[in-house]
Amino acid sequence: MESHSTSNLAVDLGTVEYSYCHSIQRNLVSLRKEGGRVGNTILFCDHDPPVYTIGRKAERSNYSGVDVIEVERGRRRDVPLQRPDSGLLRLQRYA
């Protein structure tokens, strides 16, 4: 019988670099896809230094003078600024 985690976890990372938090998110997604090795998880954090996150179709050269990180964004075309106190909360469920 396959075991699935049903617990919910909230983690406060404080102020961290975006790339650090992004790597944690990717690891959690991998564990989730590997038969539910982790339950529902929400990460709370601020990103410092500020960075722009862009999708695969965006042109990195359009953002000179600022830190830019390419992320998996699907079909969205907006370019959010990730910074301390941005007041942005995104919840996504991974199955």
Query: Does residue 92 belong to any structural domain of this protein?
Result: no
What's the structural domain count of the chain?
1
pTM: 0.65
Query: Does residue 2 belong to any structural domain of this protein?
Result: no
- What is the domain extent for residue 70? 9-82
Query: Does residue 87 belong to any structural domain of this protein?
Result: no
Instruction: Give the pLDDT confidence score for residue 94 in this predicted structure.
Output: 45
What residues in the chain have per-residue pLDDT under 50? 1, 91-92, 94-95
Query: Does residue 72 belong to any structural domain of this protein?
Result: yes
Instruction: Give the pLDDT confidence score for residue 73 in this predicted structure.
Output: 62
Query: Does residue 4 belong to any structural domain of this protein?
Result: no
Could you tell me the strand order of the sheet in which 51-54 lies?
68-70, 51-54, 81-82
Backbone angles phi and psi of 12, in degrees to 5: -100, 110
Query: Does residue 13 belong to any structural domain of this protein?
Result: yes
